[in-house]
Amino acid sequence: MLRYVFSILAKPRLVDTDLLLCLISTSNTIRRQNVHSTPLYNTLPGDDILYKEEHLQMKDSLRKIIDNDINPYVDEWEQEGFFPAHTVFKKLGKAGFLGVTKSTEYGGLGLDYTFSLAMAEELGYINCGGIPMAIGVQTDMATPALARFGSDKLKKEFLTPSIQGDYVACLGVSETEAGSDVASIQTRAEKRGGDLIINGGKMWITNGTQADWMCLLANTRQGLPHQNKSLICLPMDLPGIQITKKIDKLGMRSSDTAQVFFEDVRVPQTNIIGEEGQGFTYQMLQFQEERLWGAAATLVPMETVIQETVKYTRDRKIFGQSVLSNQCVHFTLAELETEVELLRSLLYRTVLLYSQGNNVTKQASMCKLKAGRLARQVTDKCLQFWGGMGYTNEVLISRFFRDMRLISIGGGADEVMLSIICKFMDTLPRPPKVNS
């Protein structure tokens, strides 16, 4: 029933959010009348704080796609270092999952950000980190600025097919000499007639080898580094675009990551998203959603690692008793479980504030910082309890150990998150005053 609702909502102008809620209500009535039916969804601790029945049903619908169309192939995709993004995204797009918060006018569901968070959490049931990350780039990293500030023409050309799953999107911000220091990017888009001529390069581009278009941050004029940049919708099949290599990574193996160069690439100036020179500001706003999404995507993998470790250490015997019987083991697991729940509480509060229109830059940075550090702690401590088996590729924990390490690096390193938090606390050192 819910999948039918999402597929209808993907067609703009036919229905609206009120119809979604009406149909869900009807579905609930039908389900409750069948007293022998099995539960439609599973709940986790704290779900009722942020999520209502509509959120949980959406998560259940997504879980079916994960179980039927993604997880059976994850091991194969991990070995190949590649997953078929167009195939997977089309499946998700048909069900409405690539435009949960986007306007119904352009094929989205028009729901609030709590639904996007619910989706990010549920994607954690995919048995790797690479595919959820690739999906997150499509929904919460490459398209928010376009959806919020882009022209009607750009939205129809790039946003609608991305929501439908016909286009794969990527985000072009990082460069070889400018990662977390976004203001220092060197890629240029010079005006010539009515066009932009783009020269430069981008690094660490998730979805880069498969993408149909890039949300590109480039310098479009002279001036202060926070006021001279623009976001540009860049088709990836244009002359002058060269994907020089697919990067061989430690983790996130199934997600393709590319280095891309631009040589005299020509696009219309009308491909600039919103106001020229506001790209840095728009990107900082996109980072809020990226960092919240990234934190949410760690919750289920951490819970999975903890629960799998409980099972393994309960069965594994050493010196006449289970590994789990050792106090240092079950106490450590209890501490880790507590930390995960604390992160969930911080994240849910931040998302509620964000959904109410508040600036949550500080809180989102805290979520990202805590998620990255806790993911490292959980995977490292739990892997230790697996002994030699944890050091093999035969168990899920070793994959998450590799994949989750990226959380403290991508989307702004831990040290950048700390600097942002310090800025809001007014504790950053100030440059000394120069006496005249």
* CA dihedral sign of residues 254, 372, 282, 116: positive
- In the set 290, 303, 308, 337, the catalytic residue is 290
| Residue at token pair 């199934």 | 254
Give the C-alpha separation, 179 to 172, whole Å.
11
Strand partners, 172: 216
- Give the count of alpha carbons within 13 A of 239, CB side only: 3
Biggest alpha carbon distance in the chain?
83
Tokens of 429: 């050192």
Q: How far apart are CA 103 and CA 76, in angstroms?
A: 35
Rounded Cα–Cα distance for residues 105 and 163 (Å): 11
Q: For residue 278, what are the β-bridge partners?
A: 229
CA angle centred on 129, ends 94 and 335, rounded to 5°: 125
Chain centre to alpha carbon of residue 44: 21
d(Cα 344, Cα 291) in Å, to the nearest integer?
A: 14
Asked if 105 is an active-site residue, the reply is: no
Residue position matching structure tokens 């129809």: 156
- What residues are labeled active site? 290
